C-alpha cells in the first residue's frame, strides 16, 4: 500500500530573481572618465587654470601614495607584533 498520496510534499516555488552586483572599481573608473572628459573640454581655457588643475592632480596622486605607505607600515607593525607574540608563546610552552 502506497502512502505517497497521503504525504504530498509541496513543490518549490520559482522566482525570477536577477542578482544585481555593485562593482565599486567600475563605478570609480566611470567617474574618473567623466571627470577627465570634463577637464578635456575645459582645456581651451587660459594656462593658469590649466596649471592649477595639473598641480591638483599631482597632489591627489601624492596623497594616495602617502596613504599606501602608511597602510604598509601598519601592516608590517601588525605582522611584527603577531610574530613577537608567537615567539613568546613558543618560548613559554617549550621552556
Q: How far from the centroid of its chain's Cα atoms is residue 10's Cα?
A: 43
Instruction: Count the domains in the chain.
Output: 1
Q: Give kind and range of the element (H or E) at residue 24.
A: helix 24-41
77 found inside a domain: yes
pTM across the whole model: 0.34
Q: What percent of the chain has a predicted confidence (pLDDT) above 90?
A: 19
Q: What is the pLDDT of residue 90?
A: 93
Q: What is the pLDDT of residue 88?
A: 95
88 found inside a domain: yes
87 found inside a domain: yes
52 found inside a domain: no
82 found inside a domain: yes
53 found inside a domain: no
49 found inside a domain: no
Whether pLDDT at 1 is above 70? no
Q: Are 53 and 39 in contact (CB under 8 A)?
A: yes
Residue 83: domain span: 59-95
Q: How many CB atoms lie within 10 A of CB 53?
A: 14
Amino acid at each position: 500500500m502506497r502512502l505517497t498520496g497521503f504525504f504530498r510534499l509541496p513543490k518549490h516555488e520559482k522566482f525570477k530573481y536577477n542578482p544585481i552586483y555593485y562593482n565599486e572599481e567600475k563605478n570609480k573608473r566611470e567617474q574618473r572618465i567623466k571627470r577627465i572628459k570634463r577637464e578635456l573640454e575645459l582645456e581651451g581655457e587660459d594656462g593658469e587654470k590649466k596649471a592649477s588643475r595639473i598641480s591638483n592632480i599631482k597632489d591627489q596622486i601624492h596623497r594616495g601614495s602617502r596613504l599606501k605607505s602608511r597602510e604598509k607600515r601598519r601592516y608590517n607593525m601588525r605582522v611584527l607584533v603577531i610574530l613577537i607574540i608567537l615567539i613568546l608563546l613558543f618560548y613559554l610552552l617549550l621552556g
